Structure 1
Amino acid sequence: MRYQQLDILHCLRGFCALYVVVFHAKFILWAGGRQYLEAHPRAAWSIADYLLFGLDLLSSAGYQMVIFFFVLSGFFIRYAQHKKHRSAGAFYLNRVERIYPPFITSLLLAAGVLTLLATQVPQVLTTTASRELNTTLAQAWAELRAFDLAGAVRTLGFVRLGQHFLGDNVVYWSLLPEGLFYLLVPLALRWIRWYYAASVGLFIVGLYLDWRDVQVNELAHFAVTYNAYFAAGIALYDIVITTTWLTRVAKMPRWLMLPGLGGLLLGLVALSLLKLTTASTVVAGVLAVLAVSVLLAGHIRSHNLLVRGLHKIGEFSFSLYLYHYPLLLLFYAGIVLYTGKLFIYSRIYWGILPIIVAIAYALYYVTERPSVNFFRRR
């Protein structure tokens, strides 16, 4: 396939990144859930209150949106290697050039923001507050103060310092599965059928372990869970270019496909709210496959205003993903200073979201974009 055909898929990158930003903004800037219900009992709610709370709940599947992104990552990696095959060394070098400049910048930002919070707004690190965020920040600050060479190695390998990632930037958890997938790519694409068979077998093992509630380490978790979604993206690309899959999708009525995607998204949110993690991640994978297929089949036009807006965000989605959490913490500290309160019950996060996106876009221009341009010249 030509890149022009795949370009529309960047709107899905933008959607996933923006969804995760909303998910974290709600957690940091709005004390929803139990605390909100205690401060605002449902007995006093109006219809508008129920509608607004329902709108808040729509952004509750942040983890599942990362799974969605794993499918996209597998799809684009397969395309890139199919278009221009790179040796293992060249592929790894490309990934380092692409990932580490913005990643290291985000590390400095996260560490700087947490240091600023601890020294200038220490009340946000109050462990006696009945809120997970404040306790977590205190623990992350203790780990940052003990930072050493071993911690630097762990951080550059996308591994937690202890209980938390550097600067408490929780989005780093997904970089380890992504990095492990990249290490696997040259070997997997060389023996693709074996890779597919192994991925299916390991995923079945993962379902069994989950059923038995067996806990595994991060490497094993990648093998039995996350790898399957990267593999699904690779397989989808192979299906698209070797079968009539898109032709069949294009023949399906739009009135069926688009509401179907919306229904799957609502089901995904419902499963995430019910804490049915395995079921929700499977639905996220299915949703990703269908969304890619619907877009490539032409059911949604690229000039659609929503698609164009999400596509623009998709261009700097990696930077938005890396930078938004420490930026949200910075805004939270400012709100605490201004109000003197650790719990914010107004939905101020909706107004701050555009500012976060704008700052991430500016950071993209000075960190990620130069590395992308360098990669394209190679």
Structure 2
Amino acid sequence: MIMKLPVKKSLSFLDGLRGLAALYVATGHARWLLWEGGDNFKQLSHTYSTPEKMLAIGMSVFKYGHEMVLFFFVLSGFVIHLRYSLQLSKGEQAPFSFGSYFFKRLKRIMPPYLFVFALTFICDSIVAHNQYSIYTHTTPLPLVNQNIVFVHSWSSLIGNIFFLQDAYVPVFGSNGSIWSLKYEWYFYMLYPVLLFFNRKSPWFTLIGLGGIFLIYLMGFHTGFVLFDQVVACLLSWWVGGFAADIYNGRVQIKRYFLYPLAVIIPLIPLIHTSGINNLLKDQIVAFGFTGLLVLLLDYRDKGIVQSFGKLKWLGDCSYTLYLIHAPLLILANGILLKETNNVMPRSFVYVWLAVIGVVIIAYGLHFIVEKPFVSAAKRVPLKQPDVMPAMVK
């Protein structure tokens, strides 16, 4: 017998999970920018004490920020479709107003997003004015020198405002973390199309997107860069929407068949280093997070799951945290290397201090740039959580 799960049950634990995911991303970037790095550790590991070695190895768990983006995609697809899925499961029409939907998404995303362009420009200007080594590409970290750029052209700014980064314009300034906002925004814009087909059949929508994914996996491209980038990854977002249909009973399957997909999560280090196609890697990880999401939803009343709800405060500021952490950490890198004569520390103290600092700043800022633009309905304990991705490349 398949039970229909009531959506009115508290889903506040999802807020805590997205907060932890944003914290993971920020910690991964702090580790990258404020520690001497894995290559140096491998060469000098004999000079580390046993506790230092254990800590360095343990901190390597934060290497997989890109994969964490897939968690946010899955969770976002679940959240966006949850309300309409519930209405459809009850046999209701689930009326959809694109205008209302569009402006709600716009109001949710744009205020913090526009703010971060100003913050990025200010942080980058300080870095440039002081000619910090991260600006002149002379840090002791080759990957930092290769990947951190400072583009502040008007074309880049305007292109980023319209979510065209990494398609037609570079990411604005040093804030490479905003690359995936492009995907999130256009996933939102394609949702009405998905909902149209989903009304007729959840399975048809999923299988159709699976077919499109396979076509792209075989190398097909239309030549429209933005379209190809977004549509090729759409399945990784929509499996979250399909999870919402499972949660609300529209898809009648035995959910425990999906639990084994969660085993993919601890295999991420192997998937990350494998030679398989990057698009396929991302989709495999998205399936893993879908299995984990279904598992957590089925056991949402258990104390260990609900305990994540205590971190709702972190989830509330997770979008702001994800937006602001990169330029602040890059500025911290510049200041630190200036003080150490361009020598990276082997201690993780600076990593932890920086993470605590950006969390405090994000929590304060979210009351200014984020919370005032979220409707009162979104401030009550979650029935339909509002999820934004913490992005890292």
For normalisation by structure 2, the TM-score amounts to 0.80
Give the aligned partner of residue 245 of structure 2.
238
Let me know the Cα RMSD of the aligned residues.
3.2
Rounded Cα–Cα distance in structure 1 between residues aligned with 2:47 and 2:339: 28
Aligned 8 A contact 1:23 1:60 in 2: yes
Give the aligned partner of residue 167 of structure 1.
173
Deviations 1:165-211 (A, max 9, x none): 1121111111111111111111210122453333111111233339x
Counterpart mapping for 1:178-257 below 5 A: 178-192=184-198, 193=201, 195-209=205-219, 217-224=225-232, 226-242=233-249, 249=256
Rate the CA distance shift 1:44–1:229 in 2: closer, same or farther, 3 A: same
Aligned 8 A contact 1:17 1:317 in 2: yes
Rate the CA distance shift 1:302–1:9 in 2: closer, same or farther, 3 A: farther
Is the aligned partner of 1:131 residue 2:136? no
The Cα of 1:5 is off from its aligned counterpart by 3.2
Rounded Cα–Cα distance in structure 1 between residues aligned with 2:157 and 2:310: 37
Q: Which amino acid aligns with 2:81?
A: R
The Cα of 1:246 is off from its aligned counterpart by 9.1
Rate the CA distance shift 1:182–1:93 in 2: closer, same or farther, 3 A: same
Rate the CA distance shift 1:59–1:315 in 2: closer, same or farther, 3 A: same
The Cα of 1:28 is off from its aligned counterpart by 1.3
Give the aligned partner of residue 285 of structure 2.
284
Give the aligned partner of residue 366 of structure 1.
368
The Cα of 1:356 is off from its aligned counterpart by 1.4
Structure 2 unaligned residues grouped into runs of 5+: 1-5, 88-93, 380-393
Deviations 1:244-273 (A, max 9, x none): 879854x99xxxx79x95x54321133224
**SS of structure 2 residue aligned to 1:125:** coil
**SS of structure 1 residue aligned to 2:164:** coil
The Cα of 1:135 is off from its aligned counterpart by 4.8
**SS of structure 2 residue aligned to 1:209:** coil
Give the aligned partner of residue 388 of structure 2.
none
Counterpart mapping for 1:104-119 below 5 A: 104-119=114-129
Is the aligned partner of 1:75 residue 2:81? no
Rounded Cα–Cα distance in structure 2 between residues aligned with 1:339 and 1:216: 47
Q: In percent, how many aligned pairs have the same letter?
A: 24
Deviations 1:19-47 (A, max 9, x none): 11111111111231224434x2x344554
**SS of structure 2 residue aligned to 1:343:** coil
**SS of structure 1 residue aligned to 2:165:** coil
More displaced, 173-182 or 285-294? 285-294
Aligned 8 A contact 2:13 2:305 in 1: no
Is the aligned partner of 1:15 residue 2:20? yes
**SS of structure 1 residue aligned to 2:345:** coil
More displaced, 67-76 or 84-93? 84-93
Rounded Cα–Cα distance in structure 2 between residues aligned with 1:376 and 1:22: 27
The Cα of 1:124 is off from its aligned counterpart by 2.5
Rounded Cα–Cα distance in structure 2 between residues aligned with 1:128 and 1:163: 25
Rounded Cα–Cα distance in structure 2 between residues aligned with 1:294 and 1:155: 36
The Cα of 1:119 is off from its aligned counterpart by 0.4
Is the aligned partner of 1:34 residue 2:7? no
**SS of structure 2 residue aligned to 1:159:** coil
The Cα of 1:326 is off from its aligned counterpart by 1.3
Rate the CA distance shift 1:376–1:85 in 2: closer, same or farther, 3 A: farther
Aligned 8 A contact 1:247 1:297 in 2: no
Rounded Cα–Cα distance in structure 1 between residues aligned with 2:103 and 2:25: 28
Aligned 8 A contact 1:159 1:176 in 2: yes
As a proportion of its length, which structure holds more helix? 1
Q: How many corresponding residue pairs?
A: 359
Rounded Cα–Cα distance in structure 2 between residues aligned with 1:88 and 1:44: 61
